[in-house]
Amino acid sequence: MTLQPFHLNARLEEELARLHAAGLTRRRRVLDSASAPRVRVEGRDLLAFASNDYLGLAAHPELVEALAAGAREYGAGAGASHLVNGHLRPHEALEARLAALTGFPAALTFSSGYLANLAVTPTLAAGREDAIFADRLNHASLIDAAQLSRARHHRYPHGDLVTLEKQLAASTAQTRVIVTDAVFSMDGDLAPLPELFTLAERFDAWLVVDDAHGFGVLGKNGAGSLAHCGLPAHPRIVLMGTLGKAAGVGGAFVAGSECVIDYLVNKARSYIFTTAQPPALASALLKSVELIEAGAERRAHLQDLIRQLRAGVAGLPWRLLASETAIQPLLVGENVAALALSRRLWEHGLWVAAIRPPTVPQGTARLRISLSAAHTKADVARLVDALHAAARQEN
């Protein structure tokens, strides 16, 4: 067979060249060590402020041991989807532990937060006569979830309760679903959850809360943002939490009423039509939930580091966005300038990711400084010193 010349690549190459010219090309760096504050990358030892391992559990020996023990007992893979024969004892036990920690009657585990979000919103608001109301800065997976649904998709400006109220009041939808990140992933701020709940009550809407960055970090026993804000595990709230960030492993869960969870088991396509997470991950996560519940000291240390960083950056030409969480974004502005600052820190042996559009709005490129309970005060002091040195180099 003779091969014909292939022209389709030309379009891809053009688009890649456009991204490159705009400072928007992405590349992956390979780590030769576990995810931890100290990592080995491309032959260099770096101090990283880039992961979502907020409690420092990703490489915790007790999790590693639980993972190995789980694999010895239950094998490497689940073998099938949950509804066929892939729902093993560790999955079931993990769901019960997560429900107990978050205070909801039931929970369901997923292989990733992306899949969990794809399960919830399009299943609750499936038809053209339904409506979704979403914060404009919601995570990409929530936006994609809304696009999977036939429902009308209203987006309100970030945290703008007045616009949301108007949109809800004008809606004649049969089912209304308000969807929000609890802690915004690139900004670190908290959604006004009590006010959103009040609007949900007033307009008889579901409230779907994505607590990817609050679970394990905020609230009593690390139960998350709802607990932090004093909100009850009400039947109109559906909570999503991820298990690859503070929980240190991978996967996600949805917690809610028995009815909601049963409905998702029966109707949510991204739950039904995918292989269950390997059971050993659930074994590791059972240990992780134990460490989260007993993690008050880790959370207090993390709060100390947040205060130290915020005090230390005073006087820099870039400002930290208002955030009380482990996500501390340093606003730079232009893509190229954010990349240059990230590169300068890299030269000082520090890894802080530059975040650019389309992940964040145009003109708001930033360094996403992410703190972990595994960092020391000396680590944060080193970052602060390097930022001041970079600012002096600018002048």
Pick the catalytic residue from 111, 185, 270, 283. 185
From the list 82, 91, 154, 213, the catalytic residue is 213
Catalytic residue among 60, 91, 228, 245: 245
Q: Cβ of residue 110: shortest distance to ligand PLP, in angstroms?
A: 8
Closest distance between ligand PLP and the C-beta of residue 309, in Å?
Answer: 20
Q: Is the previous residue joined to 358 through a cis bond, with omega within 30 degrees of 0?
A: yes
Using DSSP's 3-state secondary structure scheme, residue 156 falls into: strand
Q: In angstroms, what is the minimal distance from the CB of 74 to ligand PLP?
A: 21
Binding residues (CB under 6 A) for ligand PLP: these are 112-114, 117, 139, 141, 181, 185, 210, 212, 242, 244, 252
Nearer of residues 103 and 250 to ligand PLP, judged by Cβ = 250
Under 8 Å CB-to-CB from 20, ≥6 apart: which residues?
none
Q: In the bound complex, which residue of the shown chain has the CB atom lying closest to ligand PLP?
A: 113
Residue 238 CA to residue 379 CA, distance in Å, equals 37
Residue 242 or 323 having the CB closest to ligand PLP = 242
Does 287 participate in catalysis according to the annotation?
no
Classify residue 81 by its DSSP letter. B
How do 365-370 and 353-355 pair as beta strands? antiparallel
3-state DSSP percent of the chain in helix, strand and coil, to 5: 40, 20, 40
Question: How far apart are the C-alpha atoms of 287 and 60, rounded to whole Å?
Answer: 10
> Angle, to 10 degrees, between the axis of helix 89-102 and the axis of helix 279-293?
30
Question: What value, to the nearest 5°, has the Cα angle with vertex 259 and ends 254 and 261?
Answer: 25
Q: Which tokens sit at 246?
A: 């503070």
Which residue, 242 or 283, is less far from ligand PLP as judged by CB? 242
Closest CB 171 distance from ligand PLP, rounded Å: 25
From residue 62, alpha-carbon distances to 67, 229, 287, 304 in Å are: 9, 31, 7, 25
Tokens of 164: 């949301």
Mark whether 185 is an active-site residue.
Answer: yes
Residue 245 annotated in active site:
yes
Please identify every residue annotated as catalytic: 185, 213, 245
